A and B are shown apart, each in its own frame.
Chain A
Amino acid sequence: MGNVGKSVTRIDAFDKVTGRAKYTDDLCDKSALVIKIVHSTIAHGHVKKVDIAEAEAVPGVVKVFTCFDVPDIPFPTAGHPWSTEESHQDTADRKLLNAHVRYHGDEVAAVVAENEVAAAQAVRLVKVDYEELPFVLDPQEAMKEGAPQIQEDFPGNVLKHTSINNGNYEEAIKEPGLICVDKWYDTATVQHCHIENHIVFAQGENGRLVITSSTQIPHIVRRTVGQALGMPWGKIRIIKPYIGGGFGNKQDTLYEPLAAWVSQQLGGRLVKLDCTREETFVSNRVRHAIRSHIVSWLRPDGTFVARKLEAFSDQGAYASHGHSIVAKGMGCFPQMYPCPNIQADAYTVYTNKAVSGAMRGYGIPQAMFAVESHTDDICKALNMDPEGFRRKNIMPVGFKDGFSKNENYYDSFGQCADKAMAYMDYRNKYEAYKNQTGPIRKGIGLSYFWYNTGVWPISLEHSSCRMVMNQDGSMQLQVAETEIGQGADTAYAQMGADAVGIKDYRDVHVVSSQDTDVTPFGLGAYASRQTYVCGFSIRQTGEILKNKILAYAHELTRMPVDTLDVVDSNIVRKTDSRVLMPLSELCTEAFYSLSHSEHLTAESTYQIKSNAYSFGCCIAEVEVDIPLCKAQVTKIINVHDCGSLINPALAEAQVHGGMSMGIGYGMSEQLLFDPKTGKALNDNLLDYKLSTFMDHPHLEAQFVENAEPTSPYGTKALGEPPACPVAPAIRNAILNATGVAIDKLPLNPHVLFERFSEEGLINDPWREVKAHV
């Protein structure tokens, strides 16, 4: 007992600080053939002809496959649990290589060569003839009549449209004396930028395909590879070693099917596909850019009467996670600030751009930017204090969501805000910064965030766990929920030790690498679910195993089973706490007993039919250099209520990373596309402005620990939430500093220049400035 709740050292740290931890490329034999992809150089069109003669003549080139060679099987890629209900299945809208190219960067052909130089040379020599079609890069433009048609099965380019209608919006707004705040908010396309690019290698083995991949979701990829290749799923084996980050990009099927298929075409030869950074930016997945229109109707006392949301989500060329993202954002809208009359519409729209998929926060960073920027805009219109307004209107304690059955058990919002305000000296600063003049100004801003845990009841939630005892009383633990850097394995070891009664979490050997032949079935790293869902299966499996251990102890000690327990790796008689024997002695006996030999193991699946809210806030302080159009975050805190902390140090580290991603989202990151060609302009780590070591202040992470009642360990979501409230907090801080509301991310100098010019904060005498409309 007592491993959970402690800041113990992560179990993979030693291997990682010595460079020994093996990632995908470290495991690939050097004999592997290299696959390089020929990407589309136009944003939209049909491939008429691919001339591969010159490419195939390059010494070292083994084969060139084109979009005309691949199976005619559209497949889905989203890292969702499969649904046996057809209506709930992910859209299957792409092939291994595509003759109808839908974005600049689409896959047209694949070169296989003995080395990367030959492969790269051949890629440059493949000649593709296109019939070019008009393209569209903006979701609202794509919805217009006559817009280019991107996917054959989706006329009008709308992948999906869903609505929420509560009360009667149209009637409610007729109430006299209401104040209306009506604004649009835009978020940018950003990329995950895990430092290890996606990489996969594949080879045949006894008539099956073995695929080692940098993925968050091995069991899901097994299914999608099977679907893409038209193969029985059992013929596919996926191995997932350590991965260099994922953040949702690897919660998608990326190039595993293509690599597997190429290997299959070559008689099962070992092939490797290692994405370049440029491919990671453009031809993996990005975060949906979402444009939100919020109209709020309030009484002068600051109570909501009616609210409307329209959200347009830029899907890019293929469905991937599709509508789930904007739907999640829309889903929180009526919950976060409850209002009797809500009308909300969300549209997911195909465009000729990089494909949007899952990314840390799954629609909520976008939603929070819109909702929490809007909250400050309301306060400005009503001349109300943003903190007080939030407290008055935020989801109350006891709120229950009808669909998810989530309940707000505690005043998490208020408690988190109190902690954050105390750290930042929020109230004094907010007042002091209100009416500044001069070129350099300071500001402070607040944002709450809404989040939940896992995907139930929209999709399946379950976890399977296997525990296997060793002679020395230590144990292997396996789950399909993956270590992707967050420290999940360490949390499992801590929970597993406590579940069985093992004294030290280091005696729980978590099998970090998933192998779909060996690892129990499960879904993987996404939706901030893993610690929550594994808590159930680890607790349950631990109890099963413990009961087996105690039954065996009964045989050895003759004590009634219900007087026995496993405590700190000893068999203990509960009635007088006497240690009867060490667990190691029992296990050795069980292994080698001539009278009753038994390998003590347990395995079980727990299906979870609950979900848990996870709330908190961010407060950011900025300094704005108006003449230079630069804002800088000078102080920042996130406070989270993610329930009881399993490992406080790891939790804090998770929050740091999310805050950093949030600062990048707020201040600098944006994948740009050339309006003339659709080509990504800044698909590299120099031109895409990921925050560096010099772009952050100290990141303060604090917690409020209200134990989550539905979780056996009192825990709930933390992986994604830290990234959600940061951008709107910074935006609101700039509003506090300058009085200028900026409704477009990122808040980089270009945007500040534009807005400060419009608002008259800067005035270049040589330039005519158009007034803001």
Chain B
Amino acid sequence: MYDIKELYEAESVRDAIRLRLEHPEAQIIAGGSDVLVQMREGKRAGKELISIYTLDELRGVCLDMEDNLRIGSLTSFSHLTKHPLIRQHINVLGEAVDMVGGPQIRNIGTIGGNTCNGVTSADSASTLHAYEALIELTGAEGVRRVPIKDFYLGAGKVDIRPDEIQTAILIPKASYENTCGYYYKYAMRNAMDIATTGCSVNVRLSPDKQTFERVRVAFGVAGPVPMRAPGAEAAAGGQPVSAETAEAFGLAVVGDINPRDSWRASKAFRQHVAVEMARRCLVESVKRCGGELK
């Protein structure tokens, strides 16, 4: 039994917005795998909740008019992984969220919940950053889209206005087109874990597969929020597809990231594995593009 003060069950997105305005103190609950846990811990005990979990209109994946991928915010991790459009265009995202917790968590957990938490360890977040995802928020005034890097305001803080709920996540065509990616989750066990550090890389190779046309990399738990590594991207972009480039790419990560010391892992440890992870993710991404490292 949860210490819930009031539970408001939204019947539509519009209804959810109304409830948000009527109950400014209330917390939105999607799948609840974080909110309910925090409530039990006492952190959110005695709070009002607005449940949007039953809003099936927020589930599913499609291509919009411009061929951007549109992922409904309540799409569960397991559905995302299985979805043909995800597998076709941005398989690495499906793979990344397939490493969240265990199968049951992947059935209840939603991509919207994962991003709205604003936590740096979210398995979806680094890939979404590396693909420059847009967050779609729907409020009383209508819809706005925010680049994911701006959506994250700080640890546990995201840009959702008092009348809004997150309704979708978009991956622009320009971002996913002609790319292959790889996500490495560094965790202390192989299931039911949160990332010590997560690294997501995606690359676009030249037609002859000799040159990196574009390289993107983002990390979870390398700073207070998920972050790109621009220095590393610059170190590899335009460079030949080679082991040296991969090496330089990895080393450049150190200058970009800012992990901290915590009981979960030391800063030095996180830096060390981030470099190695970035290098390996780049190598794997190249292989997936059909390239070969010289």
Contact = CB atoms under 8 A, between A and B. Distances in A.
Nearest to A767: B268
A674 to B, nearest CB: 7
Contacts of A627: 276
B189 A750 contact: no
Given A115-B1, A766-B254, A695 B269 contact: no
A764 B272 contact: yes
A761 to B, nearest CB: 12
A117 B3 contact: yes
B243 interface: no
B140 interface: no
B2, B102, B190: residue with the most chain A Cβ atoms closer than 10 Å: B190
Interface of A: 115-117, 120-121, 124, 627-629, 668, 672, 674, 681-682, 685-687, 689, 691-695, 748-750, 753, 762, 764-767
A628 B191 contact: no
A672 B273 contact: no
A695 B273 contact: no
A672, A681, A753: residue with the most chain B Cβ atoms closer than 10 Å: A753
A760 B243 CA distance: 23
B190 A748 contact: no
18 contacts: A115-B1, A117-B1, A628-B276, A629-B269, A629-B272, A686-B193, A692-B191, A693-B191, A694-B190, A749-B196, A750-B269, A753-B266, A753-B272, A762-B272, A764-B275, A766-B271, A767-B268, A767-B271
Contacts of B264: 687
Contacts of A117: 1-3
Contact of B263 (A628, A672, A692, A693): A672
Nearest to B265: A750
Given A121-B46, A689-B188, A767-B271, A116 B266 contact: no
Interface string B173-188: 0000000000000101
A121 B273 contact: no
Given A116-B1, A628-B276, A694-B189, A749 B263 contact: no
Contact of A692 (B1, B192, B196): B192
B271 A674 contact: no
B192 A686 contact: yes
B45 interface: yes
A628 B273 contact: yes
B102 to A, nearest CB: 8
B108 interface: no
Given A681-B263, A750-B265, A766-B254, A695 B189 contact: yes
Interface in B255-291: 263-266, 268-269, 271-273, 275-277
A689 B189 contact: yes
A155 B104 CA distance: 51
B196 to A, nearest CB: 8
Contacts of A674: 263
What secondary structure prevails in chain B residues at the interface with A? Answer: loop
Interface in B1-47: 1-3, 42, 45-46
A127 B72 CA distance: 45
B194 interface: yes
B190 A695 contact: yes
Interface string B189-215: 111111010000000000000000000
Contact of B191 (A121, A681, A695, A753): A695
A85 B254 CA distance: 65
A455 to B, nearest CB: 35
**A-B complex: 8 closest residue pairs judged by Cβ atoms:** A694-B190, A692-B191, A694-B191, A627-B276, A689-B188, A681-B263, A753-B269, A117-B3
Contacts of A762: 272
B170 to A, nearest CB: 31
B190 to A, nearest CB: 4
B127 to A, nearest CB: 20
Contacts of A694: 189-191
Contacts of B273: 628-629, 749
A749 B187 CA distance: 9
Contacts of A693: 191
Nearest to B276: A627
A766 B252 CA distance: 11
Nearest to A766: B254
A362 B256 CA distance: 48
Given A115-B1, A629-B269, A124 B191 contact: no
Given A117-B3, A628-B186, A681-B263, 12 more contacts: A116-B1, A121-B45, A668-B188, A672-B263, A685-B192, A692-B190, A692-B191, A748-B188, A749-B269, A750-B269, A753-B272, A762-B272
Nearest to B277: A628
Contacts of B2: 117
Nearest to A763: B272
A749 B277 CA distance: 14
Contacts of A766: 254, 271
A124 B42 contact: yes
A681 B265 CA distance: 13
Contacts of A121: 3, 45-46
Contact of B189 (A628, A629, A691, A764): A691
Contacts of B272: 629, 753, 762, 764, 767
A689 B264 CA distance: 11
A631 to B, nearest CB: 12
A313 B266 CA distance: 27
A750 B266 contact: yes
B269 A764 contact: no
A681 B263 CA distance: 8
A692 B189 contact: yes
B2, B193, B196: residue with the most chain A Cβ atoms closer than 10 Å: B193
A120 B276 contact: no
Given A628-B273, A750-B265, A766-B271, A120 B189 contact: no
Interface in B203-248: none
B40 to A, nearest CB: 8
B45 A120 contact: yes
A481 to B, nearest CB: 34
B259 to A, nearest CB: 13
Contacts of A692: 102, 189-192
Nearest to A626: B276
A668 B188 CA distance: 7
A689 B190 CA distance: 10
A171 to B, nearest CB: 46
A121 B39 CA distance: 12
Interface in B53-96: none
Contacts of B266: 750, 753
Contacts of A682: 263
A393 B75 CA distance: 62
Contacts of B45: 120-121, 124
Nearest to B270: A753
A674 B1 CA distance: 30
Contacts of B194: 686
B41 to A, nearest CB: 9
B193 A689 contact: yes
A115, A681, A682, A750: residue with the most chain B Cβ atoms closer than 10 Å: A750
A279 B185 CA distance: 30
Contact of A749 (B42, B102, B188, B192): B188
A117 B277 CA distance: 45
A674 B262 CA distance: 10
Nearest to A756: B272
B268 A764 contact: yes
Contacts of A120: 3, 42, 45
Contacts of A668: 188-189
A764 B275 CA distance: 9
A686 B254 CA distance: 28
A627 B251 CA distance: 13
Interface in B94-111: 102
A20 to B, nearest CB: 23
Contacts of B271: 764, 766-767
A729 B166 CA distance: 51
B99 to A, nearest CB: 11
